[in-house]
Amino acid sequence: MSHKPHRTDRASAPPSTDRLHRDSSLQSEGNFTIPVPEFSHPSSSATGHPLQPGTLDQNSAVPSVSLAILLNQLHVAIKNDQLRLERAAAAVSSARVTIQLEIDTRDVLARETQKAQAGRDEAKKELDRARAFHESVQQCCTQAGASAAATQTLAPLEAEVQYRTRDLEGCEARVQNVKARLQEKEDILKDLRTSLAEAEKVVEEALSRVQRAELKARSRHLAEGISRLLELAAQLRPNNTR
């Protein structure tokens, strides 16, 4: 009975010397090449050229030029509105400080007015007392008859009445002066409050513009993201099913 030559299994066959040499050289150098499959883009199906990995079609660049320009304009508008908002806020802060200073000055003038009025009232009382005493002494002298003693007694009393009268007039002048200054401060405060209200209105308008511009920019960024996702989805979409 003849024996057929035993066939050696290909899987159990020892590798060739060339293959061993090639594999050992790759391991020694640390270079392991992994093949990357080529994906075809829908827009390139007509030409039949595959889309290289990591590349985009120039006709579908994301974001588009118009969208990028619009976003840049929005950022510039936001920056300008923010600068205007900062200037308006600084004006409001300065107006508030000025108003506080004027209020403090007005309060000081109000206290001075109260003091001047109190001094005027006291001077008026002194004048009334001096007049009453002068009238009483004059009446006594009239009853006693005109004499040198009566005249000497009335002379200092008349001088005191004149002094008290001048003192009262000076107090009245001081009261009127402080009242005029107080009224001037009230007018200044009124104008400052009007300016403050206008400045606060400018701040509110600037803040509203900034918020609207930021919202618009966020919307544009969202549109950019959606456009990018659509482009990526179009790139990853397989060719028409067979």
**Tens-digit pLDDT profile for residues 19-44:** 444 444 444 444 433 343 333 444 44
Predicted pLDDT at 191: 84
Q: Which residues contact 239 (CB under 8 A, 6 or more apart)?
A: 40, 42, 45
What domains appear along the chain, each with residue ranges and CATH number?
A: 63-234 (1.10.287.620)
Predicted pLDDT at 78: 78
Predicted pLDDT at 116: 84
Query: What's the token pair of residue 178?
Result: 């402080």
Predicted pLDDT at 153: 67
Predicted pLDDT at 62: 46
Predicted pLDDT at 20: 42
Name the average pLDDT for the chain.
69
Per-residue pLDDT of 174-215, as tens digits, reads 888 888 888 888 888 888 888 888 888 888 887 887 788 777
Residue 225, classed as helix, strand or coil, is helix
Query: What's the token pair of residue 44?
Result: 């390139």
Query: What's the token pair of residue 154?
Result: 């009335």
CA distances from 33 to 22, 36, 40 (A): 13, 9, 22
Predicted pLDDT at 56: 42
Predicted pLDDT at 10: 46
pLDDT at 241 over 60: no
Query: What's the token pair of residue 92?
Result: 């409001």
pLDDT at 170 over 50: yes
Residue type, 157: L
Residue 178, classed as helix, strand or coil, is helix
